[in-house]
Each structure stands twice: as C-alpha cells, then as structure tokens.
Amino acid sequence: MKDLVFHLTHRPGEIGRVANVLGRAGINIKSMAAMTFGGQGVVRIIPDNVDTARAALRDANIRFEESELVTVLVENQAGELANVADKMSNAGLNVHAAYVVGLEGDLVDIAFAVDDVKKAKKLFE
C-alpha cells in the first residue's frame, strides 16, 4: 500500500483541484489526512489504484511524493497505539504519517509512513 503526498497552497479549491483530477480518473480515495501550517497545506491520500492516480496527477502537472506504507492490525482498545508507537520509537523509526485504513470487529488496521519501511515491516512481522 502506498500514499501520495501533496504540498499545496493554503487557499480555497486546492483539495478540490486534486480530488477532481483523481475523480475523473476513476480513483477512489481510501483514506486521507490534511492539515495546514501557516500558508502551506499538506494533503496525504491513499488511492485505490496508485498507478492510475500517478498517471492522472502527472498528466495534470500536479506534483506529489509517494511513500510505501506499513500496516499494523491492533485491538481497538486503550493503549494499543501507545504500544505500537513505543515499538517504533525503540527501533529508531520516525513516523511521517498514520492512517486508520480499516475496522474489523474489535481490530483496527493502521497504516504508517515511516523513514525505514524495511525495518518497520520486520518489526511487525
């Protein structure tokens, strides 16, 4: 699973500009995170089809970064995120982003963008 990261100007219509390009290409956004810092906006999405999303964005001249994600399935209870965060911290992993990508009964599927994907995958095997 991969996510796409956009650094956008903080003004009306920027998320819509990206979402319209993806929508016209038939891309479903499985998860999204967005926030602003001063005059800069950061939007991260997980598309259902990375190859098609990548092509559509390039055709529209929209710049983006791409990251591989690591997923972890945890119980949906207090302290589980802390356990995962502590494991990553103790392994020296820096987290760039986190998404809830699924709920299955009493379980939560979380995807992380980290600075060392191989190390994170090994950690959660």
pLDDT digits (tens, 9 = 90+) for 10-41: 888 999 999 999 999 999 999 999 999 888 88
Q: Please give the backbone phi and psi of residue 15, each rounded to the nearest 5 degrees, phi first.
A: -65, -40
Q: State whether 57 and 26 are in the same domain.
A: yes
Domain end (from 67, 85, 104): 67
71 CB burial (10 A radius; 0-12, 13-18, 19+): middle
Domain end (from 52, 67, 82): 67
Q: State whether 9 and 58 are in the same domain.
A: yes
- Residue 38 confidence (pLDDT): 83
In the chain, which residues have pLDDT < 70? none
pTM: 0.86
Q: State whether 100 and 81 are in the same domain.
A: yes
The CATH number of the domain holding residue 104 is: 3.30.2130.10
Query: How many structural domains comprise the chain?
Result: 2
Q: State whether 47 and 87 are in the same domain.
A: no
122 CB burial (10 A radius; 0-12, 13-18, 19+): exposed
- Residue 11 confidence (pLDDT): 87
Domain span including residue 48:
2-67
Domain end (from 34, 67, 100): 67
